[in-house]
Amino acid sequence: MIDPIATATIAPRKARADDLPELSQTLAEAFFADPVFSWWIPEDDRRREILPEFFGAIVEANLEHDEIYAVEDLVAGAVWNPPDVEGDDEALVAELGARCGEYADTLYEVFELMSEAHPRESHYYLFFLGTRPRWQSRGLGSALMRPVLQACDERGLPAYLEATCERNVKLYQRHGFELTGELPLPDGPNLWPMWRDPR
């Protein structure tokens, strides 16, 4: 098990194919009570059913990019897209819609808003970062950002993300991300686009 006292020195590793089922469940638990996900799928039971399938599709589609990171015991994970590979992946969007059932139209609307605001400049994109609730606030999220942000600085590349809650905005600001605006969801909460220039 992870020693909570030692999380600051945790070294994330690249996720493997056999990690994906557990990692999907970790992300589902991490985002279960998230404001955006709770707005998107308001029924707890349906959200509990849908999110493991939703994140399963995401990690399966992104494994080939070799930028999914995990910590020991898979209690936290991050899905990054390296420069020039992310974008409008129609196959993934269709698969996510299929797995989301009656909530697919809302998902498509959110993705469209995100796509309109997404920077066109070459960058690393933090698609999702999540930690199981009992392990949150122990430095695991910071550890999962470390290898890619170090690569950004070494290669002179920026990074981009959309935060789904104000608490996470503060986390990302500590790592050099700056707010670039707000994306209000229809009758719902905000997404916060954030950009980080290389150091």
Q: What is the CATH number of domain 10-196?
A: 3.40.630.30
Rg, Å, the chain Cα set: 16
Q: Domain segments of the chain: what residues?
A: 10-196
* pLDDT for residue 88: 52
Burial class (CB in 10 A: 0-12, 13-18, 19+), 82: middle
Helix (H), strand (E) at residue 126: strand 124-131
Would you report the helix, strand and coil content of the chain in percent, each value rounded to 5?
55, 20, 30
* pLDDT for residue 8: 52
Q: Per residue of the chain (199 residues), what is the pLDDT tens digit?
A: 444 444 456 789 999 999 999 999 999 999 999 999 999 999 999 999 999 999 999 999 999 999 999 998 899 999 999 997 755 578 889 999 999 999 999 999 999 999 999 999 999 999 999 999 998 888 999 999 999 999 999 999 999 999 999 889 999 999 999 999 999 999 999 999 999 999 9
* pLDDT for residue 3: 43
